[in-house]
């Protein structure tokens, strides 16, 4: 394992974060959300469906779903047992169907049929915890209310020693402190791409990782 010196001062730690961000910009300059959507509501639906499911699978399901249920009203009036079958392949389909119907009803009744644009309001929507809210606020509205923490961000943030926490909420708080706010949205997209392409949970491709020299992970794979 190649040992990497750890920064000792606040200035050194800040400089390291700046370098991490620079290298992510170099590798993924135009990273975007992988969930296909045409508007904030479709993104919210896709994000709810993405829990414990791959984006690839969600993108296979949503075109037909939005064709069958083209409006918020259609989702709000959907029969749950029918919607469950429409989204069955994404897993946890009963809870997800309940959340989608509840989300549509809430947006119609409380927000005039428009997906809200604040974290406080987003968290009132069934199925929208902080991760989902951050995805929608950041991608659909360009609002950096927090940092999306999915499994890739959890794993890589710990490998890069940007956090020592395991709880997603605590990881998000550490990242919000470590990163400049203008980078919160893009950072998550970049790390998710990096996790899929290079920094896998098992057998990470460290030899072709441009962050390797800044990484303290104990499970590096260097051959």
Positions marked active-site:
131, 150
Torsion sign (Cα): 105, 111, 117, 118: negative
Q: How many CB atoms lie within 10 A of CB 222?
A: 10
Q: How many CB atoms lie within 10 A of CB 80?
A: 13
Helix, strand or coil, per DSSP, at residue 75: helix
HSE value, Cβ hemisphere, 13 Å, CA-based, for 203:
1
Per the document, the length of the chain is: 223
Torsion sign (Cα): 190, 194, 195, 199: negative
């Amino acid at each position: 394992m190649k040992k990497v010196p750890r920064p000792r001062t606040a200035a050194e730690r800040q400089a390291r974060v700046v370098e991490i961000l620079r290298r992510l910009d170099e590798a993924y300059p135009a990273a975007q959300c992988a969930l296909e959507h045409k508007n904030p509501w479709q993104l919210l639906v896709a994000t709810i469906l993405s829990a414990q499911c791959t984006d690839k699978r969600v993108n296979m399901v949503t075109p037909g779903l939005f064709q069958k249920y083209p409006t918020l009203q259609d989702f709000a009036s959907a029969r749950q047992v029918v919607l469950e079958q429409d989204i069955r392949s994404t897993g946890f389909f009963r809870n997800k169907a309940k959340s989608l119907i509840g989300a549509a009803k809430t947006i119609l009744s409380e927000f005039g049929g428009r997906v809200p644009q604040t974290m406080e309001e987003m968290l009132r929507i069934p199925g929208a915890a902080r991760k989902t809210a951050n995805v929608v606020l950041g991608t659909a509205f360009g609002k950096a209310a927090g940092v999306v923490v999915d499994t890739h961000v959890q794993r890589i943030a710990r490998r890069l020693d940007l956090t020592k926490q395991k709880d997603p909420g605590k990881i998000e708080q550490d990242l919000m402190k470590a990163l400049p706010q203008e980078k919160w949205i893009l950072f998550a997209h970049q790390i998710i791409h990096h996790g899929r392409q290079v920094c896998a949970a098992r057998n990470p491709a460290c030899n072709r990782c441009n962050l390797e020299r800044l990484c303290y992970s104990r499970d590096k794979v260097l051959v």
